[in-house]
Amino acid sequence: MTATSFFQNAGNKITLKLLLIFFLVLFLMIPKFMILDLVDERQRLSEQVKDEVAKGWANEQIITSPALVIPYYYLTKNDAGKTVTSSKSNFIIYPENIEAIGNLDTQSKYRSLYKVLLYESQLSFKGKFEIPDIKVAGLQDATLLYSEAYIAIGISDLKGIQSTVDLTWNGQKNKVSPGIKDINFRYMNITNNAYIQPEYSDAGSYYAVKTGMSTLVNIEDSNKIYNFSFDIDIKGSRALLFSPMAKNTSVHIKSPFPDPSFIGDFLPLHTTNDSGFDAKWSVLEYNKSLPAYQKSNNMVDIGTNLFGVKIAEAVDNYAKTHRVGKYMILFVILTFLVVFLTEIVERINIHIFQYTLIGLALAIFFTLLLSISEFWGFDLAYSGAAVATIALIFLYSLGMFKNKKSSVLLLSLMVALFSYIYVIIQLEKTALLTGSIGLFVIIALTMYVTRKIKWFEEDESNKTFIEEKKQIN
């Protein structure tokens, strides 16, 4: 009986080659994480540029409902029964109803390689206030200073106001001045909804809107109902948000922007298509946490009662490139699988260094995709980088394989692989389902192709070696 070397055994050779390929795949995960870090770095740089442009233009805009503020002194009696006045406070009343109608137009500005999406809006507000009964409000022992009453409107970034704002109060036009006094509006930062980056923050998870507009208004004790209206042209970036402080709030926004994201505690009835969106919000007093009025507290707590529209690209180039990068291991494994099966079927030896070059070519694809997408956009960048990578590996395979048929097969499978990954990236709801079915089909095809391979059958050269050894003996 003739003994053969460990490395001459066909099964052992295949096992060793598989181990080497396995460690090579692990090694290629290093450039994968480096590429993903690079994508994150470029995305952070893009966000910094957008922040700089937004600061010069205007940031996210939060527009609160108007609040009617009536200062008052609370009257008390001392031990001698004499009436005295306490410190001054504010009686804050919210509207009975408010209706806002507006248009929103977007425009793009470029800074270096980066595109920044901005918006301009024209909004019209109207509604009414109703002065509650003083006894019901618990202010029968207070002196209300109607002559000092004013309307306060919170606006998060006054840079965005583009024209003079006038408030019509019961038919009388009042000029609105910038700034609010005595009161502040605050809202809660919603986890996983970081669409707001405020300049002011209080302790905990609250953020304050400390800027806005105000104007003195005429309040007569005998007249309980006051109608108001005002128009405002305002620009901003990222998001336009409203707070439903009235008992009944209605907001209707139209825009040619085709990719809105509706955010906040309340979602609208809307239609969205290629020509833009039309969204209507309706919030009743039962849907929000604010009461009809408040006293002895100068902080208007909006809480999470915000809603509006986010103006941003649905999925930018960096997000798509990051998603593609996560599939790098799939690119590498499936390409190596095709090369390895060709090696087994054609009974040729492909050096592990050649596998390494193919793996590095696949890694370069992702850097090409990232760099080209900053100029051409994701779709053109993906096509260009894929064509270059597939062509490089195909031409290299012509020298590795015995015949062109195997190289053409590798070419076809790589085209199918790159197309398959591209389709998955474009999908949202069915991405997991499509990916799972695709992987099942790949495993099934691999099992079908390899079903007749005799992994432990000795190759022809090894048989010749054994026959020669027998003749010598």
Q: What is the mean pLDDT of residues 68-93?
A: 77
Q: What is the mean pLDDT of residues 57-61?
A: 88
Residue 348 pLDDT level (bands cut at 50, 70, 90)? confident
At residue 315, does pLDDT exceed 70?
A: no
Residue 102 pLDDT level (bands cut at 50, 70, 90)? very high
Tens digits of residue pLDDT in 256-267: 998 888 988 888
Residues 6+ apart with CB under 8 A from 116: 49, 50, 53, 54, 108, 109, 110, 237
Number of Cβ within a 10 Å radius of residue 364:
16
Nearest to 86 by CA among 78, 97, 94, 95: 78
| More confident: 319 or 227 | 227
Q: What is the mean pLDDT of residues 165-192?
A: 82
Task: Assess contact for 38 and 44: CB atoms under 8 A.
Answer: no
Residue 467 pLDDT level (bands cut at 50, 70, 90)? low
Q: How far apart are alpha carbons 35 and 318 in whole angstroms?
A: 12
Helical residues (DSSP H) of 131-199, grouped into ranges: none
Nearest to 366 by CA among 137, 37, 26, 1: 37
Residue 168 pLDDT level (bands cut at 50, 70, 90)? very high
Residues 6+ apart with CB under 8 A from 236: 57, 58, 59, 60, 61, 118, 119, 121, 157, 160
Task: Assess contact for 295 and 92: CB atoms under 8 A.
Answer: yes
CA neighbours within 13 Å on the CB side: how many for 16?
12
At residue 92, does pLDDT exceed 80?
A: yes
Inter-helix orientation angle 404-426/431-449, to 10°: 160
Tens digits of residue pLDDT in 111-147: 777 778 899 999 999 999 998 888 777 777 677 888 8
Task: Assess contact for 97 and 78: CB atoms under 8 A.
Answer: no
Q: How far apart are alpha carbons 58 and 451 in whole angstroms?
A: 64
Residue 6 pLDDT level (bands cut at 50, 70, 90)? very low
CA neighbours within 13 Å on the CB side: how many for 97?
5
At residue 368, does pLDDT exceed 80?
A: yes
Q: What is the mean pLDDT of residues 190-199?
A: 44
At residue 61, does pLDDT exceed 60?
A: yes
Cα Rg of the chain (Å, integer): 35
Inter-helix orientation angle 328-346/378-400, to 10°: 20
pTM, full prediction: 0.72
Beta strands (DSSP E) in 284-412 are 293-295, 299-303, 307-311
Residue 85 pLDDT level (bands cut at 50, 70, 90)? low
Task: Fill in the amino acid letter for 216.
Answer: L
Phi, psi (rounded to 5 degrees) for 173: -90, 125
At residue 227, does pLDDT exceed 80?
A: yes
Report pLDDT for 194.
43
Q: What is the mean pLDDT of residues 69-82?
A: 75
